[in-house]
Amino acid sequence: MHIYRLVLLLSFLVGSTLLFSQEVKEEPHFVNSTVVNGDTVPHINIIEVKVSPPKKFKSKRKYKRYTKLVRDIKKTLPYARKANEQIILIAQTVDTIVGEKEQKAYLKKAEKELFEEFEAPLRKLTFSQGRMLIKLIDRETGSNSYSLIKELKGGFSAMMWQSVARIFGSNLKSEFDEEGEDAMIEYIIYQIDLGLL
């Protein structure tokens, strides 16, 4: 008798769910197709997914270095990406300005605005974070910091800033080597972009 009640209850639940559920309309999804030997074959482009195993560390010291690297990258990567956006915007704007005097005036104004926006937070970076920022600017922009300063401010300014950087153990000419010494940094950035770190 109990089994009949259970079956009756289940059928009532299923029936009421079907009765009160709303009909969902599915929109048609169109895909690209290619004709192969007279036959139409649908195809979908799939985004490349990189898979990487979790990092294993041989010692606590190496793990601490890794966590410090992650911290430094998380702190400086947004600045490097913002720098890339600003450089593109400035370059596009300079191209639209007629006259060398007007271009210099715009660059001076843009430099002042950038200093006002970024000077305070960038002063709070540690030395290692400053060196990381120099590398990440090269990664994001495709040009090292020295070249960018030289292009925007001239050779003398670039040389002066390079001298200051050297005093603090940095090099504005540092370039990002994603397959060599900076492979771990590239791995960490990939993990951050995927939301895994």
In the chain, domain spans? 61-193
Cβ neighbors of 182 (< 8 A, separation 6 or more) are: 135, 139, 176
Q: Tell me, what amino acid is at 74?
A: K
Neighbours of 185 (CB within 10 A): 21
pLDDT at 19: 47
In whole angstroms, what is the distance from residue 94 CA to residue 105 CA? Answer: 10
The tokens for 47 are 């985004």
0.75 surpassed by pTM? no
| pLDDT tens digit at each of 197 positions of the chain | 455 565 555 555 555 554 454 555 667 777 788 888 888 888 777 777 767 677 788 899 999 999 999 999 999 999 888 888 888 888 888 888 888 888 888 888 887 888 788 878 878 888 888 888 888 888 888 877 777 777 777 777 777 777 777 776 777 777 788 888 888 899 889 888 888 87
Strand partners of residue 34: 41
Give the integer Cα–Cα distance in Å for 76 and 188.
Answer: 13
What is d(CA 74, CA 148) in angstroms, rounded to the nearest whole number?
23
- So what's the pLDDT on residue 2? 55
Q: Are 168 and 49 in contact (CB under 8 A)?
A: no
